[in-house]
Chains A and B, each alone.
Chain A
């Protein structure tokens, strides 16, 4: 870069000197012009010759060399040199801009660990993460990046996962916790047993995904590549006609004038601005999104996201936490605490999620000696003797079976009725909770112009419609079996408009077939789940549904910038071509039509990196 800059400066000084000398004398001016031309554009000439030898014309160097030499033949020396100079300065700027955007994109993805502290016996060595094997022990000090996925065997600390999730709240870790590569250990010293090799580690997977995302091209990208393939030859051929036909056809038109115009055409014919503008934009958008914990697996998926019309959510684990909690205790004849204690005891031998949440709500250790004669009635509930009392806990079927009068009630969630010594003792409601940001997620989606928001669930209708009402969801399909979900999505797919897309958001593990069937499959809670990353087109690393709206907004902005670049690049080029054909502008404007447009496109694509407020 430095060397090029010096050459340009030297050339510019020489060029200025030649112009000044020309004022006083014609003598020695032409050789001086030639020298400054070679200083400025020597490398371009060299590369052009090389390509001609190899039979490759029509590249940038050839076009520039041809245009400037042509200008010298029609005795436009200062023009030729100025154009070459301007071109070189433009190229320098362009390289700088591209380099800068490469750097800012790669700093976005600067989550690659450089080394691992491998512990063998008492010795600790700093090694390449590649060399660490499964089962090895690594030491991670405060401030260091976790190099490989593993399990903590010693030490406590806080882990900053923001590089992977965009989540700023640190995660607490202790022996037994899983740690993922790419996170930063904030304070304590921890020993970790490695569970995955480097290539299979989270950080490698994420980087691979983001880098390879650009190979799945969007429609706008395919359009521009195709356009570029035709653009250059068409412009060059037009230039040839332009140079020959008007001087022959019209009296009074000179060859030198029309050749000059044709040469301007050649300068604008380079397709680089077109080819660079779109992928750079997408790369920025995908990189920016990954910084927020949203992985978009390709430009094509970004394009589809921006066109989302119907968003289908799975309920459990996506809009709700997927963790069951005691929501209500309604005792009869005994206190609420007694009811919870008796039911928790009666259910204490079961490992069902409902029993777990009951025990959790009870919160004390279970003294097994207080329970006897546990009898599980499949599909109904459980009967057990607790402290000498006969406790029955289960659904209405159990109450009917045992001829107990119960309070028939409707609640969203699972209701556990209980009876003590054949007398009804009340009920406990256990339900899943809506996630904190689900409401916001739906609002944001509406703002992003999603026409229909639909929820699918295997849960009961009561439970489903309560959640739907709370969140303001348009339509709910409940009591679905896993296979029914695919069918429902297919039905919805047939109902959307031709250009609109249907996105499905689920947890990625149970919903893999539905994720695959939808236009866009969005997996939630992808961090640490390979299955989810594999199955989906878009992976939300955290389990916040509000990130879906962010993903859609980022996609819309990225697509917008990409099209702006396309329209701008083609527009400016066409205008300059027209102006040069009529002789209104000269080669100077043509140079702007080449490198200037590229620089503008690169600068514009920078904007795609800024996704903070989306």
Chain B
């Protein structure tokens, strides 16, 4: 399953790549990309683990850049 989000307030390119790396390492995630320019986060993961993955991803994003919000695209 693929889910898309927009990270509003994403301001730092290095942070974007940190987020990408951290989310990729989550359990059940097949692939994840954070596009700094479009501010899009795309997570591809196992269907049954998806809700958990999304929660954790939201936390990672907030941790790295506190002034952002994750929105459904």
- Residues of A in contact with B (beta carbons under 8 Å apart): 47, 50, 54, 56, 59-60, 95, 98, 101-102, 105-106, 211-212, 214-215, 225, 228, 270-272, 275-276, 279-280, 283
Contacts and interface: CB of A to CB of B under 8 A. Distances in A.
Given A95-B11, A211-B40, A280-B36, 10 more contacts: A47-B66, A50-B66, A59-B15, A60-B14, A102-B38, A106-B38, A225-B17, A272-B12, A276-B14, A283-B37
Interface centre among A47, A54, A106, A276 (most CB of B within 10 A): A276
B11 to A, nearest CB: 6
A272 B12 CA distance: 7
A54 B63 contact: yes
Decide if the interface of chain A is mainly helix, strand, loop or mixed: helix
A487 B40 CA distance: 41
B69 interface: no
B14 A271 contact: yes
Nearest to B37: A283
Given A47-B66, A50-B66, A54-B63, A211 B35 contact: yes
B13 interface: yes
B42 interface: yes
A214 B35 contact: yes
Contact of A214 (B12, B37, B63): B37
A271 B13 CA distance: 9
B13 A275 contact: yes
B58 to A, nearest CB: 15
A186 B17 CA distance: 43
Interface of B: 11-17, 33, 35-40, 42, 63-64, 66
Given A211-B35, A214-B35, A215-B35, A272 B40 contact: no
Nearest to A283: B37
B4 to A, nearest CB: 9
B37 A280 contact: yes
Contacts of B17: 225, 228, 275
Which A-B residue pairs are the 8 nearest by beta carbons? A276-B13, A215-B33, A275-B13, A275-B14, A283-B37, A272-B14, A271-B14, A211-B38
Contacts of A276: 13-14, 36
23 contacts: A47-B66, A56-B64, A59-B15, A60-B12, A60-B14, A98-B11, A101-B37, A102-B37, A102-B38, A102-B39, A105-B37, A211-B35, A211-B38, A211-B40, A212-B42, A214-B35, A215-B33, A215-B35, A275-B16, A276-B13, A276-B14, A280-B36, A283-B37
Contacts of B15: 59
Contacts of B12: 60, 272
A279 B66 contact: no
Contacts of A50: 66
A225 B35 CA distance: 14
Nearest to A60: B12
Contacts of B37: 101-102, 105, 214, 279-280, 283
A93 to B, nearest CB: 13
Contacts of B42: 212, 215
A387 B15 CA distance: 82
Contacts of B16: 275
Contacts of B63: 54, 56
A212 B42 CA distance: 9
A216 B21 CA distance: 15
A228 B14 CA distance: 9
A107 B64 CA distance: 29
A59 B13 CA distance: 12
A47 B35 CA distance: 23
